[in-house]
Amino acid sequence: MRTRSAPLLIALLLGCLLGARAQATVSFSPISAFPNRYARNVCSLIASQAESDGACQLDSYYGTTRGRVSMAFGETDCVVTLTGCVPGVCYSFRDATSTIERDDVPRPGTAGAPAASLFKDVSAVEGASSSSFTNDGFSFKASSSTVKIAYSVHSCADYYSYRGSVGVQECRGSFAAITEVGAGMPNSLSC
Please tell me the distance from the alpha carbon of residue 59 to that of residue 131, in angstroms, as a whole number: 20
How much is the pLDDT for 160?
Answer: 77
Q: What angle do CA 103, 108, 114 make, to 5 degrees?
A: 70
How much is the pLDDT for 175?
Answer: 87
How much is the pLDDT for 1?
Answer: 46
How much is the pLDDT for 100?
Answer: 73
How much is the pLDDT for 11?
Answer: 59
How much is the pLDDT for 53?
Answer: 63
How much is the pLDDT for 146?
Answer: 94
pLDDT tens per residue across all 191 residues of the chain: 445 566 655 655 555 555 544 333 333 333 434 444 444 568 999 888 766 566 899 999 998 889 899 998 889 899 999 999 999 999 999 998 877 776 666 666 555 556 678 888 899 999 999 999 988 899 999 999 999 999 999 888 887 777 776 677 778 788 889 999 999 888 888 88
How much is the pLDDT for 5?
Answer: 62
How much is the pLDDT for 105?
Answer: 65
How much is the pLDDT for 6?
Answer: 63
